[in-house]
Structure 1
Amino acid sequence: MTSYTLTLLIDAADLPTLQQAGEQIVLVRRLADAGRCVAWAVIPLAPSHTVTWNDDYALYASNTPNAIGNLVTVGASTSVVWQCDYRYATTGFQGPVPDANLGAATVQLVNQVPATTAASILSGLAQSYAVDGAASGTAQPLNAQTLPALQIAQFTASQALWIYLASGLQTGMIVNTPVTTTNMVNTRQVFSAALLLQFSATAANQTARYSSTLGSFYATSG
């Protein structure tokens, strides 16, 4: 199992202006073809933070409507075993059942809740983390995919991670896809352009520093 570490740095001189804007550090995981993004972690401003996590994932199900700004309330969850099928029914998750047709880091979920009971569920992957050694507790949603009754979704693991500053967000909130430039974006929020980092077993420890010149984070060796 790989452990990952993200070090976040902000110069103390930059903190007052960012705090006056009501901003916090936002971490959003990038999963391909997986519905909407979710604020995986929203972290208060500080000169430095260390965020750690590993390869453990969970599947979750929720009745939260899939709309930007909603906070995802996890109703049920189960640990993920890759290359397996899971089913979600009114009694919760069932599985895993091995499925050799799936990719090495892919899981499949079937919503077996009858259409007469609930038209759809909100589902996706979730993962826990620790900030400065303090664990997040339960696994936090990484994405939000609407899954209609009796239909199938597949989710594939990814360690790609966006980092940006924004006001008005909370951990677990469904958010717009982060942008790498703030040009031509219509929003009431204050936010920075996002830095996308790709973590892997060979790039498990990375550092991002905020630059007031750039108005965003950039990758650095320390």
Structure 2
Amino acid sequence: MPDYRLQLLIDPADLTIIRAAGQRITLAKPVNSDSSPNVIWLSIDPFQSTEVQWSEEYGIYASTTAVQQGASITKLSETGVPAQDGASYTFTSAATFNGPFSGGGVARGSYGAQNDMPNASYPMLTFGLTQSALINQKPTERKPISATPVLSTQFANMTPFSSVYIWLQSQFSSETIITKITGKTSKARFGGGVNDLSLKYDPNLGVFVPASAQGKALASHPQVEISTPLLF
């Protein structure tokens, strides 16, 4: 069974305007810092009710895609899912992952990747985590949630957070690197006993808020935080 469930609700009148503008529901998950997601995990066609479910299981990928705004990630190699946390994987000259290997300073809840691709072949590669989801019961497999440039011989330590950033936008699709989020976002905090959240789009605020908070102050809903544009 999935660990977490997020329900996103939109009134029909608001949905008509959102779809006419070509806007899509967009989700991103932070890695290594709870305030700085840098990859669009899921870009979703909006409906009156959209349900997203996922488990805290991750894979590791390698790519030649540069970490720059608007770049679409092409995964070249990846580990199996779930990758083992508290362990590392080695990316070899054969362009495959070996492992997992325990130790090496990787804590529980984190994932390590050693870049052993020779410098003469690729001086730098991009590594990151992937995560699958169910969108309205339809599987979406192993989408990147992060991207980190790693030089040859260097090591990446990746720690995912359970928070999810949610906003509307029309420019970027899933698996796209972002260096900034334009517009307001909602951050839904999962974990610590919070496994299920229902949010509804508030056109006056331009963000998703807890469904139970329509017309009320958000201070009593610590699971959801409204943010101004993030600059990375």
TM normalised by structure 2 equals 0.84
SS of equivalent to 1:143:
coil
Determine if the alignment matches structure 1 residue 211 to structure 2 residue 215. no
Following superposition, the deviation at residue 99 of structure 1 comes to 1.1
- Name the structure 2 match of 1:153: 156
% of aligned pairs identical? 25
Q: Please, which of 132, 135, 138 is the counterpart of residue 131 of structure 1?
A: 135
Cα distance in 2 for partners of 1:64, 1:215 equals 32
Pairing of 1:30-49 with structure 2 (within 5 A): 30-33=30-33, 37-49=38-50
- How much has 1:2 moved relative to structure 2? 6.0
Q: How does 1:1-222 map to 2 (within 5 A)?
A: 3-33=3-33, 37-78=38-79, 79=81, 80-91=83-94, 92-99=96-103, 101-137=105-141, 139-178=142-181, 192-200=183-191, 202-221=193-212
Residues 174 and 22 from structure 1, CA distance in 2 versus in 1: closer, same or farther, beyond 3 angstroms?
Answer: same
**Alpha-carbon deviation of 1:177?**
3.8
Decide whether aligned partners of structure 1 residues 52 and 84 sit closer, same or farther in structure 2, where only a CA change above 3 A counts: same
> Structure 1 residue 16: deviation in Å?
1.9
Structure with the larger strand share: 1
Q: For the residues of structure 2 that align with 1:36 and 1:206, how far apart are their CA atoms?
A: 20
**Counterparts of 1:164 and 1:176, CA distance in 2:** 15
Secondary structure of 1:105's aligned partner: coil
The offset of 1:221, in angstroms, is 4.4
Q: Which deviates more, 34-43 or 90-99? A: 34-43
Unaligned 5+ segments in structure 1 are: 179-190
The CA deviation string for residues 39-98 of structure 1, in whole angstroms up to 9 with x for no partner, is 100001110111001011000001112111111011111131011121101321011011
Quote the Cα distance in structure 1 between the aligned partners of 2:60 and 2:15: 36
- Aligned residue for 2:15, secondary structure, equals helix
Matched position secondary structure for 1:74: coil
* Alignment RMSD: 1.9
TM-score (ref. length: structure 1) = 0.88
Residues in 2 aligned to 1:4 and 1:201: alpha-carbon distance in whole angstroms: 12
Q: After TM superposition, which residue ranges in structure 1, 4 or more long, deviate above 6 angstroms?
A: none
State the SS of the aligned residue for 1:123. Answer: strand
For 1:94 and 1:33, the matched residues in 2 are separated by: 27
In 1, Cα distance between the equivalents of 2:143 and 2:180? 17
**1:187 match:** none
- Contact 2:7/2:50 (CA < 8 Å) preserved in 1? yes
